[in-house]
Structures are given as structure tokens and as C-alpha cells.
Structure 1
Amino acid sequence: MLQEKTIDHLLSIHQIYHEPDVRDYARGREILAKYPDAELIEVKTHNLIPELYGFEGAVEDWLWNKKNVLILGTKHSLSARPNTRSSHWVAPSQSNGCAMSCSYCYVPRRKGYANPITTFVNIEKIMGYLERHAGRQGKKLTPDQIDPQYWVYEIGENGDCSADAAICDNMKDLVQLYRGLPNAKLTFATKFVNRELLNYDPQRKTRIRFSLMPHHMSKLVDVRTSPISDRIAVMNDFHEAGYEVNVSFAPVIFYEGWLDDWRRLLEELDDSLSEPVKRQLAAEIIFLTHNQQLHEVNLEWHPKAEQLLWRPDIQQVKYSQTGQRNVRYKNNLKREIVDDLVNLCTQTIPYCVIRYAF
């Protein structure tokens, strides 16, 4: 019952924007039937909705949109983008956007900052593409830092799959697909505890990465997410249910006393994890990158967080491939603090493999 309340707090769908043909798909009909009282608003395409996708994204309705609005569409462009860090490939997404509202998140920049969940109802087409793509790769012959045996596909780059699973069975279908692929597994990071995923029987072919940061920092910047203690507490259960369980230390935010807070978090993690989880644990460490335009929007709805996220005194500009003005910690400082956290992990959770840190 507690988990149901958590999901109800996260999502209470009152409006559904949908493309004209979503009823042609079984998944589309299922979702519409699930929310019979929602106002239906037909749109030409899922990514051109003026009242949502203006630059500031109706900032005064930011959190209302996250909780109450759902968008249904179809995914037309299918491609798997090569990756070199937490996966070998970034899969074509079964959704984008998120019901949560982490103030540092890069995803809202892609859709004008108003970014509720968009669910793609043509899941069979997406799954067919992924199965064919994995088949073309053949057997993975060389172990690497991503995985010793399988080609790994990231399916959660544009949202949070645990929250998506509260909408429909797209995630369940993908877990079941990869369970049967002989040479591939899937992975996603999450900040939301959805116990329904414990029933998916992934048979170690799904790697879930729980995003963690110090408690008080998460309360400030991880808006509408599960508490850090809840994420840690469920990790043993997910491993027992057949998942590979990893952690994502991201984003790491620098402030006075930051390393002491991380020491306490890592000690809590060490005390909480079972020995089987510890033996297979791996981590990614990603320090904060922020964005000037997102900073300006955040000042309108969450200025307190920006005092820690936007630090021109210790950050430098780095332009993205699309020309956006991003900021990250200055090179000399970043080298130092990356080393500090890696060393702390080595001392406190020495069994944890660090896949990469930057």
C-alpha cells in the first residue's frame, strides 16, 4: 500500500496529449483505458505542443505538468547510438521526459523545458528493431569494462524507466525481450523505487543502476524522487529478484563538507548491502554539468538549488555539440575532487568496481 501511495503522489494523470493514431496500437488503447477520466487533447505530433514546448516550458506550471500530463505518440526514427561508458549502445527510447523534476537534469533542454512523460505506443516496432540490432552484433567475444559477456543497451537515457513502468508495460516487455536475447542485456539508471519491477524476472539480463548522492543534497535537488534511504534499502531485494544491481553516483556536486557527506553515504551503503550484492557491485561517477538556460529557468521555480548548482567562481564554460552554454567544474579543481571521491570509494567500498569517473 505504501508503494501505491508513492506512485499516486508521483503521477495523477488529468490530461493526455495524443497523436491521432495512438488508438491503432494495443498499447495506446491500454493506456487510454487506464485513464478514462483524463481530458484527451489530440495533437499532430508528440513533440510540437506549443503550450508545453515553449522555451521556458510554462515554468509556473512546471510541477503540475510533471504530475498531471501524459503525452502519447509513436517513435519513428529508430537507431542505436554507439556508447562507450555504461553501455555499448543507447537504444531508441520507449519514452522520453520524466515525472520527476531533478533541477540539474539535462533532458528538459531537449523539449523546451516542459518535459512530462511521453510514452511511445509502438513498442512492438521498437522491440523488433532492438532484436534485429542485437542479432547483427553476433556473440560478444572480448570482455570490457562495460560487461564481460554481453552487449549492453541503455534504454533510460531520456527518462526514468521505473516511473515509466507505472504508466504501462513497455518496460516489462523490454525486460522480457532481453531475457531471451543470447548476446545482450539492458541497463537503466533510476531515482524512483517501483516495486512492481521486482516481478519482471530479468534473470540477470537487466542491470539497474540506482542513482545516489548525500541525503540532504538529494532532498534539495532531486525533486519528486524516492528518498536515498529507500533506494539503498531496496537494492538487496532487486538483486534477489534477478537484477544485476549497480550504483550511479551522479551528479556529484561540490560544496563545503561534500566529501564528509559522501563518506557517510558510502558507509550506509556498505552497512546495507548483502554480500552477494557487494560481489557484483559496480559504480559510475559523474560530476555535475549544468546549463545556463536551465539555470535561468530554474531561478523561476527552484532558486535555492541554483545556489549550489550554479557556481561561476569554480566553474568553466564548455559549449555542447548543439551550441548550448554548459558549465562544469574548472579543470584543476575537477581533477582533485574526482581523485578524492575515487579514493574514498576505494577505501570505504573496496569491492565496488568503478567503471569510470569524470
Structure 2
Amino acid sequence: MTAPLLDIRRIYLEPAAAGLPRGRQVLDRFPAAERIPVQSHWRIPELREGDPEDFLRPKREVLVLGVKKGLAFRPNGRSADFIAPSTSNGCAIACAYCYVARRKGHANPISVFANIEEILAATARHAATLGPKAAPNQVDPRDWVYDLGENGDLSVDALVSDNVRDLVALFRSLPNAKGSFATKWVNPDLLGYDPQGRTRIRMSLMPHGLAKLLDIRAAPVAERIAALPDLHRAGYEVQVNFSPVVLREGWEAEWGALFEELDATLPAAVKDRLAAEIIMLTHNAALHEVNLAWHPKAEEVLWRPDIQEEKRSETGAANLRYRTGWKGRWLQRFRDLLAARMPYCRVRYAF
């Protein structure tokens, strides 16, 4: 029998979060969990000092309950028009390439924010201030799109609280805005949220063998693909993320097989409006060191200095990307392969 994704045994909580209705709901959902008061959801030394060889335990057993302080909306222009204030950060899934800063420690378990009403109200005000979208762009031809899950996976968050249900309900009521999030988890509860086309789900996909190596604790790729028609019928706008594209021997054959599987599974109604993001792998030197302690096999395909080059991020981090010039050629080969196998799939964004 497969172990559950979450087996919450400890909840680190800010007192202010515990006093809010959503905070009480989360605590009631896990009544047997030990409750550990903390001053800040960012500063929990026990999580920072976890054993790298036991990387997955905090993701399965620990939850952090806090209050979201900053409610800024960041312009994006890639996956979305704006990054909305998050209702969570951290994740129970353990993708070996994950870019999310591990600010609570190397494992970064889920932190859920209890001040959902404040976040929803700020989002509604922001959309109202924008008014109608003046011109189409690559994000969406009509609506302003808000990325809701930049720092986690909302399909997993929906196992913890009703925050995701409330977000879907909010965008159902906004005439000029859509919510959007990427996911690697299949949560049947989402099928009952009645999004009415106002929430976009971007299912992240990669070849099966690569996902078994890199997408630790995520839903199997076959389950993710099988969920797409159900999500469409439930009223979501369904798109796909081919992300990250990891180059290794035989990559074109394994991606080609994935495209053929998708083509055989998707109904015509999904194909008619299907769009994709393509994101080539970006790795990180600090993450490389963490991975060597708990999942060194992943680094055999992620850490490839022979075909990668260092590029400093805006925050000064040492990132590795595929070499300039070659990256563009490989990306074009990927796009050509997709066009040959799934010509109806529009590439909305590629990087």
C-alpha cells in the first residue's frame, strides 16, 4: 500500500494564525498533531538543522501555520501577468530540481497562511484597479492572469485547507481576471470547485523515466495525463508545462513518446485550446550540494558542467544553464518535435 503524501505530526504555528478561522480549520483537520508555537513562520531553527539524509520526513510530517505579511503583486509576463500574494509556500513534493528557496531549511515543508480573507480582498482590489485588459498578450488574450502557486503546489495545498477552494471561487467572480497554478499532483477534490473557466491549471509533465528519477513524491506522469480530461470537464482551463526539459542521451525519443501519449489521451475539446510552456532546466550550485546528500543519482543528469555554464541570478546565486547558443538550438529541436507530434499545441512561452 502506498504511504500517504501527508502524515502531519507537528504543526509550527504563529499565535495570530491560530486565532483566525482558517487557522482553526487547519488545526481541526490535524487534531493529533503536536502544536509548537513560533514567533515567525520564517524562523524555525529545527527545520534549518534537519539531517539532509532524512530529507523527505519534514515534507511528510511537518506543517507550518502562519500569517502572510506582504501583499504585493509582482509583474511577471511569462506564466502570468502578475504573481499574486501566496496563500502558502513550501511543498510536500520533493522535485530534485526545485528552484523554490529553501528558506525554512533544506526540506521546506508546506507553510499555509491563515489570513485568506485578507489575501482574497487584496487580489480583488488589484484586479478592479486594472480594469479590462487593453490588448492580448502571450499570457492570455482577454484576462489578467494571476499566478497563485509560485512557491508551492496548490493541488497539494488543497489537502491542508480550503484556501485553494476560496481562490477558485474568487476568480469565478472576477470579470477581468483568471487564477493560474502549475501542479504535479492529482487531487480529485478540485473537480468539485466549479471554476467556470476562470482558473487555469498548468499540468507539469516530463517523460516517465525522468519523472521517476526527479519528481520525488509527485503523482506519476500517467496519472497527471489521465487527469487532464477530468479537469477540463470540471471547468478548468487546461494547459501543460513541459518543465524542466533535462537533456540526456535519448531525450528526443522519450519526449516524442510522451507527446504521442498525450495526443492519444486528450479529447478534441482540450486539443482545440491547448497551450504549453517549455522551460529548459536551470540548476543551482547550492541545490547541487543538498542533492548530493540525499539523492546523488539525480545529479548525474542535473549537474552537467560539460554542457552547462554558470550564470548569476538577480539575487547573486550561482545558477547553471545550458550553454548559450546550444540552448537555443536544443530548444528549437524540442519545439520542432512538439510541432510534429502535437501540431495543435500552441507554445505560449519558452525559455
SS at match of 2:91: coil
Q: Structure 1 residue 298: deviation in Å?
A: 0.5
Select 1:102's aligned residue among 84, 92, 95.
95
Aligned to 1:347: 340
Q: Structure 1 residue 60: deviation in Å?
A: 2.8
Q: Structure 1 residue 336: deviation in Å?
A: 1.2
Superposition TM-score, scaled by structure 1 size: 0.96
Select 1:152's aligned residue among 139, 145, 149.
145
Aligned to 1:35: 30
Cα distance in structure 2, aligned partners of 1:331 and 1:22: 46
Aligned to 1:190: 183
Q: Structure 1 residue 356: deviation in Å?
A: 1.6
SS at match of 1:331: coil
- For 1:38, give the aligned amino acid: A
Cα distance in structure 1, aligned partners of 2:253 and 2:61: 38
Q: Tell whether the 8 Å contact from 1:315 to 1:329 is kept in structure 2 after alignment.
A: yes
Cα distance in structure 2, aligned partners of 1:132 and 1:22: 23
Q: Tell whether the 8 Å contact from 2:44 to 2:104 is kept in structure 1 after alignment.
A: no
Over 3 Å counting, the alpha-carbon distance change for 1:223 and 1:290 in structure 2 is same
SS at match of 2:65: strand
- For 1:316, give the aligned amino acid: E
Q: Structure 1 residue 59: deviation in Å?
A: 1.3
Q: Structure 1 residue 61: deviation in Å?
A: 2.8
- Equivalent runs, 1:75-114 vs 2, <5 Å: 75-114=68-107
Q: Tell whether the 8 Å contact from 2:225 to 2:265 is kept in structure 1 after alignment.
A: yes
- For 1:70, give the aligned amino acid: L
Cα distance in structure 2, aligned partners of 1:116 and 1:23: 18
- Equivalent runs, 1:267-286 vs 2, <5 Å: 267-286=260-279
**What is the CA deviation profile of residues 134-170 of structure 1, one whole-angstrom value per residue up to 9, with x for unaligned ones?**
0000011211111111000000100000000000100
- For 2:11, give the aligned amino acid: I
Aligned to 1:20: 15
Q: Structure 1 residue 58: deviation in Å?
A: 3.1
Aligned to 1:255: 248
Aligned to 2:301: 308
Cα distance in structure 2, aligned partners of 1:213 and 1:220: 11
Cα distance in structure 1, aligned partners of 2:315 and 2:103: 10
**What is the CA deviation profile of residues 101-148 of structure 1, one whole-angstrom value per residue up to 9, with x for unaligned ones?**
000001143444230000000000000100000000001121111111
Query: Does structure 1 residue 134 correspond to structure 2 residue 127?
Result: yes
Cα distance in structure 1, aligned partners of 2:69 and 2:335: 41
SS at match of 1:311: coil
SS at match of 1:9: coil
Q: Structure 1 residue 285: deviation in Å?
A: 0.1
Q: Structure 1 residue 20: deviation in Å?
A: 1.5
Aligned to 1:178: 171
**What is the CA deviation profile of residues 193-240 of structure 1, one whole-angstrom value per residue up to 9, with x for unaligned ones?**
001000000000000000000000000000000000100001001001
Q: Tell whether the 8 Å contact from 2:186 to 2:227 is kept in structure 1 after alignment.
A: yes
Query: Does structure 1 residue 115 correspond to structure 2 residue 120?
Result: no
Unmatched runs of 5 consecutive residues or more in structure 1: none
Cα distance in structure 2, aligned partners of 1:20 and 1:102: 31
SS at match of 2:336: helix
Percent identity between the two aligned chains: 55
Q: Structure 1 residue 293: deviation in Å?
A: 0.6
Aligned to 2:136: 143
Select 1:331's aligned residue among 293, 303, 324.
324
**What is the CA deviation profile of residues 59-88 of structure 1, one whole-angstrom value per residue up to 9, with x for unaligned ones?**
133100000000000001101100111110
Aligned to 1:47: 42
**What is the CA deviation profile of residues 17-65 of structure 1, one whole-angstrom value per residue up to 9, with x for unaligned ones?**
00122222000001111111101111110000011124xx531331000
Q: Tell whether the 8 Å contact from 1:17 to 1:46 is kept in structure 2 after alignment.
A: yes
Cα distance in structure 2, aligned partners of 1:102 and 1:114: 11
Cα distance in structure 2, aligned partners of 1:9 and 1:220: 19
Unmatched runs of 5 consecutive residues or more in structure 2: none
Aligned to 1:296: 289
Cα distance in structure 1, aligned partners of 2:338 and 2:21: 46
SS at match of 1:128: helix
- For 2:47, give the aligned amino acid: L
Cα distance in structure 2, aligned partners of 1:80 and 1:108: 19
Large movers: runs of 4+ above 6 Å: none
RMSD over equivalenced CA pairs, Å: 1.1
Superposition TM-score, scaled by structure 2 size: 0.98
- For 1:71, give the aligned amino acid: V
- Equivalent runs, 1:150-229 vs 2, <5 Å: 150-229=143-222
**What is the CA deviation profile of residues 223-264 of structure 1, one whole-angstrom value per residue up to 9, with x for unaligned ones?**
000000100001001001000000000000000000110000
Q: Tell whether the 8 Å contact from 1:74 to 1:121 is kept in structure 2 after alignment.
A: yes
SS at match of 1:141: coil
Q: Tell whether the 8 Å contact from 1:108 to 1:114 is kept in structure 2 after alignment.
A: no
Cα distance in structure 1, aligned partners of 2:105 and 2:319: 16
